[in-house]
Structure 1
Amino acid sequence: MSEDIRTPIREFISAKFPQISLDDDEDIFALGFVNSLFAMELVMFVERTFGVRVPNEQLKLDNFRTMNAMAELVRGLSESMRLSAG
């Protein structure tokens, strides 16, 4: 399931920054091309694409630094939604 989550995230980032190729553990913020506007676009993309809501306490850079971190965040939020709908 992780790869299924990472694929659309990778495609979204690649569409915005076609000149780069990211590894799953590469810190997109450390590369210097990501700004706060893109970070918010990324949050909205994750919410819209995966049908989750990122609560304020989860709006941390560490949750969005890498594709693996974003996949883990989505997995956790999806699991929480399943349990609360339960």
Structure 2
Amino acid sequence: MSHGSEPIADAAPGAGAEQITEEITGFLTDALRRPIGPDDDYFELGLVDSLFALELVTYVEQRFALTVEVEDLDLDSFRTAHRLTEFVRRKTGADAGRRTHVGDH
């Protein structure tokens, strides 16, 4: 499993939630130095702090080629890998839709 620095924006939403979740859990497992499951609430478990939350936002932006806006900073979207996957799919799906319509005119 690879979770390096190459963006996989083209993989979302096309590649599906499972691939995105694997990318995110891989990053979390490496960063937190312990296995993290897709439904583990790493905030509630006390595994992360506010500094790591910023690292997580930066990772998501770079890895999935998206921008996390201030209004996107809802802790519920970032609590688990599954919730973060849903967030990534929403953001990349909306971005892809805008790009498609621009080229149609």
Normalization by structure 1: what TM-score?
0.92
Q: Percent identity over the alignment?
A: 36
Specify the code of the residue in structure 2 equivalent to 1:6. Answer: T
| 1:9-20 map, 5 Å | 9-18=24-33, 20=34
Deviation (angstroms), 1:33? 1.4
Deviations 1:2-48 (CA, angstroms, capped at 9, x unpaired):
11111121111111222x32221121100101000000000000010
Deviation (angstroms), 1:82? 1.1
Please say if 1:83 is aligned against 2:97: yes
Q: Report the counterpart of residue 73 of structure 2 in structure 1.
A: 59
Q: How many residues align?
A: 85
In structure 1, runs of 5+ residues without a counterpart are none
Please, what is the CA RMSD of the aligned residues? 1.0
Q: Report the counterpart of residue 10 of structure 2 in structure 1.
A: none
In structure 2, runs of 5+ residues without a counterpart are 1-15
Deviation (angstroms), 1:51? 0.6
